[in-house]
Structure 1
């Protein structure tokens, strides 16, 4: 990983550029001023020689140390060091200075995203010059690369790219052909496509590693698709790199060059033992030499450091077996005659990237990856060189990634992906058995109420408690998973049909008896359970899951806190009737005005005092009323259904049905109409705040509805500059042309736009320039974790920086406590929204002039979208 020094005075620009470099695969050290950077390059400094490139943010005015640093980098000692200089304006003197220096480039800050490509190009140019200089001094054989891919177009492209950059390259179209070519000719590197017609790429990696003739070939996998399984198998088979076809050519060449340097370093060790001492001191991996009996002849400092031996501790002449690898992974002593490393020392056979266990002097085991090179000097074998590296962190990461791939982060239960895999296996097993199993689909009945009224922190805690309760009833053969939201599922293996309903009812009674306590308040919890049998007649896992889901819906429809066993002959129609029932209720709600709007304040962070950020309990909105100017306040309109039978119903219960029955356009029109009328009336009383109104994905593509919304805005007396429409990132990216047309037409009237749930999409940043919105609402999934999760903090930082660089304001929702608020304040977020500030409520609670006769202003139970 190339190490880059970044010098930039502006904290914001420094943060943006550093993130860009890190994402491009560089290790970055950042300096806040030029004097500290200058000290890195003074004679005797350790840092000056460890950077492979420098990025300078040139100041607009004269700054002490800047000119001195650039003058130093112009001297012969550092002229080979790649240097990219960024400035806000073109400066003729600076540009001439850059042009005079080799390995240099100039870039305006507005094009800063090109800096990573420039660094990669300069690194390649510098490495090519080094290769040319080395060739002039001594004859060096070029690195030979075998490129294996079933696509002729891909083969031709990479072969030309490699040959144009000084490599000898041959290609093969299949795993079999690649293996034959590797046996027939010498190659240093093999780059192998993972998905091949005759076998996957890891198979070829394994074959090359296992064959003594080809074990010295450094292998790498290249693929167009990221798959954890593929990467894991490739690494286990001996691949040292996993590359992707959508990476830039410069980054591809940088990776190849890094592998080439590694190969040449080890060739140098084989050819010139007399230079070994100097080389070993600079190698970061542990390296030691042994004779054919396995006695140590030399060790490098990294070997001592990794295994816990002092620099002056005598190791020469001692047995590597007795010091480093005397037991197997279970801790059993290894007999000398059965030790694979001891055999390698004796036979002089090479070994490539073999994982094993070494022992620290303290007695702790260390997983390592070791490579053994026979050491031959003037045709005579002088023992072996062993290079190894500590892979403890990699092992922990692999284990963590495997755990994350199959578990839910909140409850620590299995996740939906793993559950569906197990359900598929169970259905397949029962095809060949007379046994019967069952699937329980559990949906909490009171979760949305608790989550919406007490906040997401309370909701999360409830889910964790329920998960622990459910685990207590499991047999060792059963499997429990969280499917998402407040839905859980249990696979009951090999059960009696007659008792299954009672087993499910035991789970339901356990939930019914659980009392959830939060902030001194007690909440009753219960759940509805759907049961689907699994036997030899079950068609598929998806059918089983769908049947259990239908049974759960029927249980809810029968009054909740029920269990229901799916019966194919009658329940399919019942499921349809449930949806149709919702459809009818929604039609009635639109006709009889049973829809209600609640309002949740969105607060500018700049007006929140440090004292309020130290509060342990919210909401704090009442204390903000006198501080935040009304014209700076934004209120998000949130839809509720005031059902005559059930009371207030939150949108998660009825909007999915509205989407399935194509009713969202009617609901959106009702919301916009009610919002515009209310805002117009409030403005007549002197109200200067803003409203944000959510539009669905169906509305974005409905041109007739857009025209109707235009007419509403034009014909009303509302100040359209106070209207902000929200569209989700997913719906905007899915309908990019329609979204742009919607934004253009309503923006022409003075309305503004916010992009909701930003960061949830797969192409967030790439489409941001193409969506002319005014606000970016960061996906609450990331905001909720910023107080504890470094990854969430980094994502929020990046979104905020990019949004600001494009001139957009940022809004963070789901602010549930003071710790989250403090982080957002320090990060420079513009607006915040969440239960710690205020829950959704009737507008009269925070706008005194919102009199009760204004339409859509019914006082109702507060809640959250």
Structure 2
């Protein structure tokens, strides 16, 4: 190393500038450095610096004798960066004669990579005027490089010159040892990490991927991979691969390579030999070389894998960036890794081999830890490695011979004593985990007894502990809303049940299901759906007390746990609070959305004292809330289970009803009372249940909607009705229309319009003879979507009817936006004609409004002569109801159509109506 005086360093760096062309990579750095040195040196030469005068090395005889007999390199450099004196040790250490160096620039023998550091140290020396330490490589006369470490000092010569004195010592062996130690630690960590992966390995694929990643990152290669030999097809398959950042994998193209494509490799590996090429250009011409050249591989190293003494495949490394000479250490450690990988594959092949290799792998793991110390029978530490020094914050000299309890932090002593004493007294191995408060770290500790005491291993598992905490949180919480999931909820419920029994208290369980959330999710997208679920979770949490629990158990379902409840009224208050909270609009992307919830409630111990029973009862009560019209809550009652059985039976039968052809259609005619002619029919589905008999739509449609079966059932209804209408058009009334109700579930099918179009084409029914009916309430649920879908149907030529009009809350503005053709006045208004003046006023208003909007009006549920007369006088021409005919099977309706074929005047119909409940069949027989 070099100690430079200011003048010397200035000239030294001028000398360096002369060498700029030769040291091209350091060009800019040297120029900047030399400029600054000139400035500093000029300042120093013109100042009164008190640099201590130093004996010129050639002056004092005693001093000269000391220098010339030193084993260190000693030199004096003038301001032009040239050597003015070199000690005889230059000959013995670097092979140069004195005259070969005198007058030469010192940078001629400094390693180019070390020049920046020498420059930095030189600036530091000039600026501080204090001696400093420099480490650099110097060139031997034979061309080899050796590491030297020393100090530099500036001084004035007796003649007033500024010189630098450099004293350096050969540290090449020490540097080599340090490098070897770092490399050994790196290799041991790699082997330790790989071995650790074998402990809890449940899948060979996971182990292989992790193993290749560890190897690739540790050795910094382009690729690591495993090929397996498939004996049945005699092919090699690249089953696992790790690719360094910026590299490209060809895994897909390397599947099932026939052995005859790489015969030399396979032959070599089957013999147990490795493949080792620093430069693939040195390979013999053949398919292997062509394969590697096509993948830009520069160097390759591969090790055979054997399972049960049979060739299994190989594990390999490739370098694609530059040629790489594989070191002996690389080969040795990878050979060990290959054996571990072979062992893991062997473990995966047979259970018998698994038991055997587990012992081997455990032994490997037990011997590979971060810190190790041995303890004798008197608890004295007899040996400690370097990591143990770090762990105990003490040197080996301070640890060896010291009691373990004096070395360990006071807070850990008692915890360790119990485990270590067990290992000593019972001669058994112990493994435990402990938290080191002094270093804020978790350690896994293993103690193994022997005839000489204990061997103790310490492994830092802090990151693993943190990962376990994260995994535990994930396992017990819903990832979307970050609230408890079903597992955590059930665990808390079971604990609260025990406490409720012990303290003679009540607790409540609430099951919430968001009403029609699926439609929001399907139509507005999962992003909006997810954000709504997150907002719902926050609102629910805001409705609860501290100590209550809200959990999401999947989809749009939530569970609430209310422990320590005094009265049912407390749960009622919470339920009201939740319903009112969810009624408030949700705002996303500048739009408002609304949603409601159905809640089922069960009480412990009144309704049960087991978690599963309470959850089942709450679920049952929730479905009853759905059946009650949604947006309400229901307390569980035992009678619900009886009805549940019927519901389950219906649901089971419903899933097979379509295949068994148990559905039939009845038709109710639509009459134009001015012409006396049937102008259309409405299709009404019936279910011929094998056990429950003929069921009306109200008894199974809701169930079909909740299960999603309404979609195929609805398609069957539409197809059957269109086909039947076309038959009647050909044989009876050519302008006959058919009306079919569409469920909201069908409406949210993206291909609904396409399905209807296909049915019309297949049945031959013109679109204008089909009327699609939707309810008023349904039309309000998602106005934008409904309007879009109805317009598509309108463009198709299909008529649109708004059923049950008057029962909803649609405004005139909303109605005008819908492309409807017909309003059907709900039967609830018709039945109270001549009894309720408000209903009469509503009917007149609806008829007048429809006429102003050029819409047709149909009165549903006409059953009496008085109703007919009122409606006719109110200019309502189209009616349907039991006064004319109830829904009847196709053969009965066909007779009605046949008999009414030649009736044209409504007056004749009216005069022949004999009774309030007369059927048009009776009239036609007159």
Fold match (TM-score > 0.5): no
Shorter-normalised TM range: 0.3 to 0.5
Q: Which has the larger radius of gyration?
A: 2
Query: What TM-score do the two structures reach when normalised by structure 1?
Result: 0.40
Query: What TM-score do the two structures reach when normalised by structure 2?
Result: 0.38
